[in-house]
Amino acid sequence: MVAGAALVLGHVSVGCVGEDNPGVVTPPEGDASNPSENSPGAKDNGAACTVATECASGNCADGVCCDSPCDGTCEKCSLPGSTGRCEAIADGEDPDDECPTTPLSPDAGGGSGGDAGGSFVFPDGGVAPDDNQCAGKCNGKRACAFAGSERTCGTAFCGSATHQGRASCDGKGHCLYGIEECSAYACSDGSPGCKTMCTGEADCLPTHFCDAVSSTCKPKVANGSACSSVAQCKSGFCIDQVCCNDACEIAGGTCKAPGSVGSCRCSACATGPCELFYRDEDGDGYGDSKGTIDNGRAAFGCVGQPPAGFVANKDDCYDGNPTTTVAASVRPNQTGYFASSYTPPGGVPTFDYDCDGKVVKETEEILEHAGACGYCSGLALNGCSFSTKCSTKGQRSNLSCGRGGPPYFVCNSDGTTVGFTSVVACGVAGLRKICGTCPDVGQSPSVTTSTITQRCR
């Protein structure tokens, strides 16, 4: 034993006395009679404790003796079923509020999403994000997990037809307001953000169409894809139940030609462009104005090469069998007049033989001067004078007065000499007058009458 050493026996201390040792020896640190905070106690893991010295492991965590200090994030030593063992807190739980949100300062910036191109309108009163909705939870792996942009933490609103304003979490416990482009649905005025279902095309972005069956906005399809409406096609043309590159209004055009589905092609002429021709059944050189491909009275052919029985124009208002109908007489530029009407298919009786949409009578109806033949004189501005007595022998009489040109507008007898003196309908007989000449001065002119049918065209 060297000088200054002590022998400890039970609770009795014996030692040498020197000038630095007054005779009282302090037990060594960690002695059972004077335990330190680093000295192990006697409690097993899982036993309740308040200080580490109570535990044989030297660790008191979460109120129990623990197999480790257990002072990391999202771990606990008092979890049910594992008391005394330091285990990770289950995913989605945070009993000790270890994953709180940390609000950013007002000047910290932030924001997310895209650029609405300067046309984005914020609501009156501004927006109010809520950071508390972005607080995290333990992830079951001794760490915090924070909600990402999929979680909304404030009111969403439509700032334009294609963009919404939305507060969303940033994955770090903050709630940031940003501008987001809608991915399929439109953002209509008054809607709380991009729509999530559709009832019509207005609910979808221009790049999508509304599928009526599922009430969802789906991407528009390319040319050649099946379609039932123009809204489904990127091109805006649904022809022959396929999306086509244009309206396919060319003669003989089809969007279903083999090898070219989705592109407008002419199928009736292999050597070049097509032309639509119209049936000329009566052979008058004019095609049926009502001819269509569907009714068989129109057909496609190469330009300038009409199929037999067809012509390029469609001006005939009545085209039919020339041996059983008057169709051959009905055509544009017809100059003849007819006493009988005709009835076109599906139409009503008419005298429109020249297809101009009007009916013209062959014989005029002169209702002036009570139907008398006579002579005119004076100035038209003052009203023409009419007399049934002539002033010159052999002077031709008229049913109506003529008017000479300016400056005097002289009344003369250059008017109509032949006509009905009453209204006579087309196809009906009436009394026609033909005014003759004066046999001598002061006498009345001769008059010839005959009953004829009013013909028309």
Q: What is the DSSP string of 160-175?
A: SSSEEEEEEE-SSS-E
pLDDT of residue 142: 96
Residue-level pLDDT at 382 = 74
Note the Cα 318 to chain centre separation in Å.
42
| Residue 381 confidence (pLDDT) | 76
Q: For residues 291, 297, 303 and 309, what is the CA-based torsion angle, rounded to 10 degrees?
A: -130
The DSSP-derived string for 198-250 is -SSGGGB-TTEEEETTTTEEEEPBPTTSB-SSGGGBTTS-EETTEE-SS---S
Secondary structure tally for the chain: helices H, strands E? 0, 27
The total of other beta-carbon atoms located within 10 Å of residue 272's CB is 11
CB 70 within 8 A of CB 49: no
Question: Cβ distance 212 to 231 under 8 Å?
Answer: no
Q: What whole-number distance in Å separates Cα of residue 69 and Cα of residue 167?
A: 40
pLDDT tens per residue, the chain (457 residues)? Answer: 333 333 333 333 333 334 444 444 444 444 434 444 445 689 999 999 999 999 999 999 999 999 999 999 999 999 999 999 999 999 999 999 999 887 666 555 444 445 555 578 888 777 778 888 899 999 999 999 999 988 888 888 898 999 998 888 999 989 888 888 999 999 987 788 899 999 999 999 999 999 999 999 999 999 999 999 999 999 999 998 999 999 988 777 889 888 889 988 887 887 777 888 999 999 999 999 999 988 999 998 888 999 999 999 999 999 999 988 899 999 999 999 999 999 998 889 999 999 999 999 999 999 888 889 999 888 877 778 889 999 899 999 999 887 776 656 788 777 789 999 999 999 999 999 999 999 999 999 999 999 999 999 9
CA dihedral 177, 180, 185, 188 (to 10 degrees): 60
C-alpha span between 454 and 79 (Å, rounded)? 115
Whether the predicted model's global pTM rises above the 0.85 cut? no
* Other residues' Cβ atoms within 10 Å of the Cβ of residue 456: 21
User: In angstroms, rounded to a whole number, what is the distance separating the alpha carbons of residues 164 and 323?
Assistant: 73
Q: Tell me the backbone φ, ψ of residue 54, rounded to 5 degrees.
A: -80, -15
- Show Cβ contacts of residue 294 under 8 Å, excluding neighbours closer than 6 positions: none
DSSP-derived letter for residue 54 is: G
**Which run of H or E residues covers position 144?**
strand 144-145
List, in sequence order, every beta strand (DSSP E) within 237-377.
Answer: 238-239, 242-243, 253-254, 265-266, 274-279, 298-302, 310-311, 375-377
